[in-house]
Structure formats: structure tokens, C-alpha cells
Structure 1
């Protein structure tokens, strides 16, 4: 039996984040990946590796979703970078075509290629139109603070409280990623399942950010849910995969390394 997972996300040309990471993660976990591109992001090596952001036309997003959801019976989707209010409208309309068992939202609240005003409009639209639809949300430290209305997250209890507050906005499950910004020697993620919090903790590997870690975690959760795993097992596998991928990270001529999904074997 083939299990299908679907990603709606932006392309990142170097393969270190976004659509490319999602498909690599799906493949590594034995899931057939399908996808819709929402934007094209390319780093600018002549401008400090800043983001260059080009949105995909909403009609093209509609057409991609129509083709994918007609071609296969898909009930599990991961949503990554959307980047523009018109994109969010198109994706929300596409999601409304059918019912879903699992909508995993990686709530990208910063699109570095946008002007501040446009970014704020995008954030507002994401919170109003996509977050309430999510089954699972996987905010990072900054996103969790923003969505939960908290200034900082310094303890496991803070991560759990952020998850609880975000769950009140729609998602059944929230995984708050402490990441490199969480104080202390451990990389801590906390799952709020609507009743209680579960912490997943491993020693930090280095003190630098590794590109693609958040995408990999959300995509791995998506793949495991598509195979029928429960949320706790899905998060456990995702945490293991990200940890292995960070340990085997791929260096480049960029100022950052990227997660290597191929380092993980079940």
C-alpha cells in the first residue's frame, strides 16, 4: 500500500528548505510525496545571501491543487511558506475542496523577501484563514511567542503554555520548537496534545542555526501521520530525524549549513 503526503510550500533553490526538503523527507520516510508551489525563494549571494521572493500566481496555485487532489485521494497535507495574502486565499479555497484527516501547518511568519507592511498583512491572513484549519501547528520560538502573545520562552512550562494558547486558536496539536533560542544545553520541543504537554529533548548539536530543521520536523510529522501514526509517535520520529540530520549537516559556500535528511534511517 502506498501512503501519500502532500506539501504546499515555497521552493528554495539550494535544497536546504521548503518544498525540496519536504519531498526529500517524505521519500526518506517511505511516503509518496506530491506538492504545490506557492512561491520561489532564492538566496542572493551578491547581497549577503538575502532572500529573493517571487510569489506564484494564485491561478497557478489553484490549478496545481486541482490537479493533485483529483489525481489521488490525499488526506494529509503540510503547509509551509505561503508568503502573500492572495496566496493564502488561494490555498484556503483549495483546502475547502475536501475534508482532511491531517493539516500540518508550519506557520512561517517571516518572509525575508517582503517589505514589513506586506509581511504583516501576510501574518494576519495566515492567522485568520489557515491557522484555524490546522490539525497540527509547528511554530518555532519566534512564531510561538508571536502567536501566543508571550515575550519569551525560558522553561519547558513556557513552551507548554505557548502551545496551549496557540491550540485555542484552532489546532488540535501544537509542537513548539525551542530550537537554538531556548536557553540551556538541550534542544527542546514540546507537544501540547489538548490535555497535557510532552517534552522531547536532546543535547544541542553546536550553537548555530541549521537551515531546514523546522521544515524537516514538520514534513516528518506529516509523513508519519500519513502512514497512520499517532501524534506522539510522529513527533518522536520527526525529532529523531532532525537530530540525525543536524549531526550530519551539509556545509556549503553559504553562511549556514543545512539538514541532511538522508542521514536518518528508521
Structure 2
């Protein structure tokens, strides 16, 4: 019997450069064994050098995309990224309220790489009050965690752990606090927070400029692994391993003149002859059959 991969719905902005946002989500979900469908919240004109323009999608059309997917597709998990504004946040929250069984992984995209805020105060309030309490796993980086809690941005592992009580008060069952911004640390350390425990997830730090879309890819992979039956923390561990390998292989991609993307499909052969030979073998078997 043929078995379909689990369906993961990603709700995020589109990256015309292909390295982050919806495009990165689809790649990460596909590479980790899921089937990706999407609802686009914003269009961006961007590349590896930066973002040139952003155009939010009409909230009613965001709702239409969500309704179309959820009506037809057996969605097993939802990943949320860039939401652009308060109206879109409230639409997404209202639609998800009708599907309380669906696990949600929320990557709170609110601060640009330049440090500029991507959500105004009204949108932040809507995110904190309507969407984060509905979230299963929250995946903030250090600047995002600081803005969510009103605390200073951590500069040490000890300061990361000091954020734990404030992050728990947000009402989300699980938080994966990402420590990638601690560039001086010899390892990449994240703190996995549940309601009563904390654990450190560590991996080797990959020195590469190709970090575009890392947050999107990690949260999408968590949703994919979770939809395949892993526990929340095991999904976090598996996604961290996947992202570490995708970063380690990122130098194999020569894409753009700025901060390049990770290599989502590092585990697949890049040699066209390998694919062609496999494809020919399948065709020959079909002819014999």
C-alpha cells in the first residue's frame, strides 16, 4: 500500500531569492520527508544581499488560502513564519482556532537582519495575545526572545537561561530558544524549554556566511518531523541535526553575492548522471512490466 508523506502547512512570506520564507520552508519540509502546502502572507523583493520591498497580502486572501488548504488537505502540522501585520495575525489565529487539534510551530519573525523591526507594537500585541498561546512550539532567536519578553538580548548562555521564566509566561507549551547569535561560543547551543524542565541542545558551530533562511528552515523541519510522529523535543533535535548538515554543505551552493542559503538538499545527489541513470532504470523496469 502506498503511503503519502504527512502534509505540513506553512504560513509565511515569499522570498523571491528562494533562500528563506515559503521557499525555504517548502525545501526543508520536502527534504525531511513531508509534503508542503502553503499560504503566503507577504510578497518580498529580496535576494542574498537584502530586502528591497515588502507587500503584505490582503488578510481576506490569506484566509482564503488557509480555508482552501484546510478544507482539502489532511494537514498534520502548521509552521508559521512572517505574518507582516496585526490584521493577518488575527486572521491566522481565527482560522487556527477552528482546528485546535493541529500542532503549530511558530517562528516569530519580527526583526530584520539589519536590526529593523518587522512588526509594529499592535502586531506584537496580537502575536503575544492571540497566536503564541495557540502555538505548540515557539522558536525565537535571542533578539526575538528579548522583544517578546521585554528583557535585554542575552550575550551568554547564563543570560539565555535567565529568560526561561519570562518565556514560560507567554503560555506556549514548548520553546526552543536559539543561541545562534552567541557567535563567540564554540558550539551552537539552544535551550529547549517545557513547562517544568529545560534542556540544552548542542551541535558543532558551522563557520559559514551562508546563513540565509536558517530560522525558517529549522522551524519548518521541526514541523515536518513532528508531523511524522516524533515527540516535540525529538523533532527539535532532528531538525537541529538537519540544519547543521545543511549549513555544513552550504558551500556547495554558489548562489548570489551576499549571504547565501543553506543547502536544503545536501543528502540528494547533485550529479545529473546519477539521477538520469536511476530514472532510466525505472523506465526500463516499467517497460518490462
Q: Same fold (TM over 0.5)?
A: yes
Is residue 72 of structure 2 the alignment partner of residue 42 of structure 1? no
Query: Deviation at 1:182?
Result: 4.9
| DSSP-derived class of the 1:166 partner | helix
Q: With structure 2 as the length reference, what TM-score do the two structures score? A: 0.83
Provide the rounded CA distance (Å) in 2 between the counterparts of 1:51 and 1:143: 22
**Other-structure match for 1:152:** 153
| DSSP-derived class of the 2:99 partner | coil
Summarize the alignment of residues 23-172 of structure 1 with structure 2, pairs less than 5 Å apart. Answer: 23-43=26-46, 49-110=50-111, 119-172=120-173
Query: Deviation at 1:206?
Result: 1.5
Q: With structure 1 as the length reference, what TM-score do the two structures score? A: 0.90
Q: Do the aligned partners of 1:180 and 1:209 also contact (CA within 8 Å) in 2? A: no
Provide the rounded CA distance (Å) in 2 between the counterparts of 1:142 and 1:109: 9
Query: Deviation at 1:36?
Result: 0.5
**Other-structure match for 1:252:** 255
Provide the rounded CA distance (Å) in 2 between the counterparts of 1:116 and 1:216: 21
Are the structure 2 counterparts of residues 207 and 111 from structure 1 closer, same or farther at C-alpha, using a change threshold of 3 Å? closer
Query: Deviation at 1:231?
Result: 1.3
Query: Deviation at 1:192?
Result: 0.6
Q: Do the aligned partners of 1:163 and 1:175 also contact (CA within 8 Å) in 2? A: no
Are the structure 2 counterparts of residues 60 and 143 from structure 1 closer, same or farther at C-alpha, using a change threshold of 3 Å? same
User: Cα deviation per residue 1:102-128 (whole Å; 9 max; x = unaligned)?
Assistant: 111101112689x96963332222122
User: Cα deviation per residue 1:213-253 (whole Å; 9 max; x = unaligned)?
Assistant: 11111011100111110012101111111111111113433
Provide the rounded CA distance (Å) in 1 between the counterparts of 2:132 and 2:166: 13
| DSSP-derived class of the 1:60 partner | helix
The structure with more radius of gyration: 2
- Two-structure CA RMSD over aligned residues (Å): 2.3
Q: Do the aligned partners of 2:13 and 2:83 also contact (CA within 8 Å) in 1? A: yes
Is residue 20 of structure 2 the alignment partner of residue 17 of structure 1? yes
Structure 1 residue runs of 5 or longer lacking an equivalent are none
**Number of aligned pairs?**
262
| DSSP-derived class of the 1:14 partner | coil
